[in-house]
Structure 1
Amino acid sequence: MIEEAKKKDGDDSINYRYTIRGTASQLQIKSAELFLPDYDIIRGDRSTESDASRHGGVLVAVKKTIKSEEISVAELPLSVQSSLRVTKLIGLEPFYIAVLYNPPAGSKYRISIEDLQKLFRFLEETCCKRLLLSGDFNMPHTNWSTYDSANDYENQIASLLFDMNLKQYIDFNTTKKSCLDLVLCNEDSIINDTTLCGNLSRFSDHFPITINVSINSKVSENSSTRYFSYCNCDFDALNEAIIANPFKPYCYSNVDVNTNLWYEWIFKLIEIHVPVRTKNRQLLPPWTSAETSHHMNKIKTERRKLQKKGLCTSEKLKKLTEECNQLQINDRVEYEQKLFASRHKGRIYKYLKSLKKDSLPPVIKSENLKREASTDLEKANLFNNYFATVVTDDGYEYFEPSEQHNFGENDILITEDLIKTELKSLNISKSRGQDSIPPLLFKRCGGSIAMSLKNLFCNIKRLRKFPSAWKSGIVSPIYKDGDKKEVSNYRPAWYVDVQKCFLLTSAFECAPLVQVHSTAHNEMPSMNSSGGSADTCPLLRA
């Protein structure tokens, strides 16, 4: 049962009280017989040939005052569909509550490890930000302080949960003899406390448990480990959604508000139609297979377990490392054989170039500034300071308003056809900008998204102001020649958003805008050595 809890004075968070309780599996109770008229009932019942061995299903009751929606689990295996229900609570930030029932050992309905892997992968992709997973897992032999179990089946499940960064919060028996009901969450700040809230009854041998939850507006940093996989996007469905839900902003008088509304509109559609993936796979070399990636995760899990026990290594870790090294060698050989057999010059040159690509040296220095840097933040600040000294106002011609340059509304023509033509000619291999939307999306959705961009650009032209969000970008240090430790041998490269690039090069190439060319220095975030943004420095003008 999910209901709202009382707020403390001055508390801006949303508080929920979540109660779980197991019931006798033989009971066949209709939703109307629960006498919960103020709750929305979401349930999954296992349908078997034997009622005595049904092992039940799951049921979630959400207070009707809480805005929520059920997440479909139809894509999961049949063994999981009746044992899992996922509810999305809609508040300051989405909060997902998943309830799972896994029959006890010996039952023919116990969920297999393969199906559980698919289930957890589904939860990772669907409920990436805030997830609370609870229910009767029937894992009495697991030590949740170390995520270890003498039972091989339970040990594999514990490792999968550990890899998902799910912390287990129940540290007491939920039945007379053992802990079967679990509460797991991927964000530590959500769970306030978990307590027993009653006694056993003739309908259940499980104690009822209350979990007090608090949701703040700030998104967990763990969410940054996810990204949108645009390559796996259903662009046909996305195009239909853009046409069915056109961009209709409520504000045209403020260019910044108008631009932010456009981003909110497009990202809302992207979240629905573009799958979410973990960055772990994205950061691996291209030849890494799924099996090797799984071995790498096993090694990470084993190392974390050893750290909790205060150990450095084990025979299992050594064996896993040796197996993983051999798998990586085999993967690379197979990848190179397929690549060179394809005789695709572009891919081959790209691969060979990536082999020569080196990261920044451990220590960089500046002879002019008399400074050295070793950490990522120090390197970023040093590059910022150097780039700020070499990028000056010299050579820039700024447009000042005058009578002879009094442009009318029709002096700069921005048409839907012009935008469609430009989007079709985009090179999808180019890097994305600060908004993280790749050229691939604009090219594949050019026909449907062109009208919204036209409205956005025309409003910018009408107001003669450049959006503040487009006055910044990601700057990466590119090595040219000489000593790699010297910052003066690097040049800044600016990653520009597609819309900004179009606005500056195509739509306004026939005439300058007063406000565009009279903006002050922009704060340009520089890239640190690991690819993340750091401090800001004035680099370029819009």
Structure 2
Amino acid sequence: MTGSERNISKRSNKRVAVSSPERTTQQNDIREIVSDIVKAEIKDMLTQINLTIKTTINTELKTLREEILDMKDSIKFINSQYEDFLKEHNANKAEFKDIKERNNKLESNIDKLTARLKDVEQRSRSNNLELQCVPESKTENIVKIVEQLGKVIGVEIKRDNIFNATRVAKINRHSTRPRSIIVQFNSPLTRDSVLAAVIKYNKSNPNNKLNTSHLGIGTNGDKKPIYVMEHLSPENKALHAATRLKAKNMGELFDDRYNVYRRDRETSKLRTKNDGGGVLIAVKKTINSSRVRCWESDCEDLWVVVNLSHMNSIRRIAFCGVYLPPPVNRRLLERFLGNCNRVFEQHDKFKCIIGDFNLSSIAWNVSLDASPLVCNNSATAQILLDFVLQNGLTQCNSVLNNRRKILDLVLADLPECSVSYCYNTISNVEQLHPPLEINIPNMKRDILTTKTTYDRYNFYRADYDSINQYISGIDWKELLKLDDVDETVRLFYEVLRTAISNHVPLKKTKSNRYPSWINRDIRRRIKEKHKLLKRFKKYNNAMDEVELRLLSDRCHKITHDAYAKYNSELEKQILRNPKAFWTFLNSKRANSNAYPATMNNGIKSSTSGDEICNMFLNHFNFASVHSSASDNFDSTNFLRNISYLGESDNFTRIIVNQNNILEQLKNLNISKGAGPDNIPPVFLQKTAKYLALPLHLIYNASLVSGTFPAIWKQARVVPVFKGGDEKDIRNYRPISILSIFAKVFESLVCPLVRLHFNRYISEHQHGFWPGRSTTTNLVTFTSSLCEAIDSQKQVDSVPHRILVKKLSCYGFSGPLLQWLSSYLHNRSFYVVMNGFSSLSSKITSGIPQGSHLGPVLFNLFINDIVLCFKHSTPYLYADDLKFVRVICSLRDSVLLQDDIDRVSNWCESNGMQLNLDKCLHIKFTRKRDNISTQYTLNGEKLREVESVKDLGVILDRKLTYLDHLNIVINKASKMLGFIMRQCQSFKQPKTRIILYNALVRSHLEYCSVVWRPHYAVHNLRLERIQKRFMWHLSYSVNMTKTLISYKDRLQFFNMATLNARRDLIDLEFLYKLLKHKLDCPTFLSKINFRVPNRYPRHAITPLVAPRTRTVFGANSVVPRLCKLYNKFSVSIDINANTPDTFRNLVINEIINQT
């Protein structure tokens, strides 16, 4: 295409564009017309559709409404029918329950009647004797056969002794044996003598036992055995055949109401024994039970697990029936007990071992007040005793046999399990093994529920910066310038309450029925499991069962993991937070802090928490002292009597220092609880810097005015179980809790009062005084005759008026005497337990318990009682009094009686009451012949005893300490078993060692200076306990094969033998005595140093050991201490600077060399 052509084309296009607008205007008009038509059609169509939909919906809704109304009518009809059915069902259910109860009663009555009939049937055969396998003859004379039997066995049987003799029909008609002969004698005595003679004859003639030739029966020299036995009923015959070597069918033993578990002797290593053998346990089929074969040993023991249900809970109890044939040797017993220990690792709680142990060397004592176990020097029996104690078992059987022994034992850890003689027996009673009836009550302990309490302040999350800022802004000198001390203390508390309410958060206190290691996730899953369990019980769906099993396994796993993690955290914090660790451990012990749901005071019982608190209030209420005792007190005579103790200086005033107050506040133990004012020590410690000033003002104002604040005189008392029946409130002792402010106040005043009284305190008083203890009391006493007198609540019955008069005589006067009088008078207390509280009660006499000043004031009150002893030597520990005199003639007894009368007069004049039930006397002597004298107190004879428990040590007449040794070993073994059972989740050996030192070794070393044994056999018994622990410790770290010997284990765990530790304790006691760390001048005077006349050529012993004539005297306290130190005097310096230095020297010399 050329250029001109392209130009023409462009121009033509331009022309076309010029004419286009006219056509555009016509198309727009057409579009508008079409659009209007379409809109109109759509509108008509939508209107029609809406009308159609509305009509259709209304029609459907009307139909649906009619159907709903019809359904409601149907539901109403069904509901009415269901209600009628439900009423009928409930009526039938109640009737069925009544029928079931009556049926159970009838079955119970039938069982009782059946048992009685069987008992009557067996008793009717008590005179009968059965002869089996005696050949029959038409011409036989049964009476002559019996007479001939008597001649053979050596028993004269007269015709008059035979009431009847005849043959009885066979039970099995197809049996080839002859019919049995039943001989009825005129008395059981004749029957028993014949039976005993037969047994004796057969044992004496094992190769020629009773046979037909002895009775003149039989021909051609054919001897057939003849059997003579009791005439048992068919049921008893079947039962007696239960455990013989040749077993019979189960159906022959019990009927189909029982599951019978048996173990015959042929399954054990004792199958060579021919007499008796085998054990059997029968359990009713209504009780879920099963045999556990993997628990059985090679002895004759049978283990059956029984699931007992009670109140929607199931207790799994492991029963063991065992028979140990005599003579029981050590190896046999150790095999069985070792297997039991392995079983107990899998089944820790609720176990019961029943069987014949044939150990007559143990004198079992089930009394709670006496020694629980006594072993008569039998090593085999001691193994059983250690097993019982270490596994927390109790020997429940106290039924003696005809030889006054207990061979059949019931070893159980079931609470309140009781054993009694069974009178409804199924067989004749064997005198050596009386039948037993074991009663296992409800094992679920009903405890008193905790009362829902109000919200408490969480002082550990308080804003102490704001509190200190608020307290520092108070002008205390202006606020507390009042003369009234009580009003001053009230204003002080108002400021504290305001600060606490504004800056201390509240926390809700609610009782948690789950343990502390159960977290929120576990609780949620447990609730899900309970819901699923209800659904499964309701619908019995197989899928629900599968889901329930999976959820139960999951709950068990996460609970186990949470418990292991909790124990691990406790173990890590044992040094940082020991309170949490010991709280957890104490909850595992048998006597927890929970109170029973029902409690009594010997007169009435109650289940109400508030009423129980008031019962405790009445029990703890301190007895009032008669005013006549106070009025008759002669101050002039008292001053004359105590004049030799020292000159009395007036002590009128005390002023406390603010720095001392600050130091006391900073040293408070924040783990302790709050007092009655609900302000804990942590609050005082955190605000100590700013509370020191107001407390300084209050304390000094109180001392100057002679008024002790009334609010600080109130005490909160918590009952603590002592022992015995936990439902009896008389078996509880009160623990008094005072305000922390009051205790800080007393801690400042007490040292000054003690310092003033120190010149008057008698050297015979060893209680509540620095440098004196139970050990110093006992070591000065243990070789003398004593009369032990224990007063009845002396600390609680001190008359306040007499005490104030004595304070005045000792030099207290002015405001200080007035302050002490105010401190004692108008005190009150109330009892709290599980959130419940009693009324408040006034205390009319006694020393404030739980205080610092109380013990000092009591020592001051009782101090002059030593003046009563003109002819004997007294020994005091607080209110425990004993006095001794060597009795060489009747005159000495008269003089001792004179001192007893003088003590009685002192108690009467000082308003004290003696508990005559606890007053006793004991004669210490190693002679067979001694002067016999009866002593009296207030006209009543004093009870003489063979042994007495004095300050935790049991003293016998010969001072052998064997009774105390047995008790100590029993307690230590029991605690060792507790540790071994509860420490399985702890991983670190250090934790187990801490528990052992606190719970076991403390028993073995308490006052060991006094009772330390010197015979090797006794030391070995003590050492055996630690050997058992060291094996357990090495087993816990899987090193029993590496650490083989006891010495290797001690070295690995850095421990010492108990004997070496007793050497350490003895030398430390001697060191403290010579360095005046102990205030015991009487005993110190018996320690003599060797002072040579000239310089010796060789080393000499520094101490002079007293000469003695007997082994007993040579091993008494003073000679033993002197000889022990002389032995190591070259390497151990008694003049070491500090106790720690001396202790390290002893450890390096003695302990590290063992």
> Normalized against structure 1, the TM-score is what?
0.47
Structure of larger gyration radius: 2
Whichever structure has more strand as a proportion of its residues is 1
Give the structure with the larger helix fraction: 2
When the two structures are superposed, what TM-score results if normalisation uses the length of structure 2? 0.23
Greater relative contact order, per chain length (Cα 8 Å cut-off, separation 6+): 1
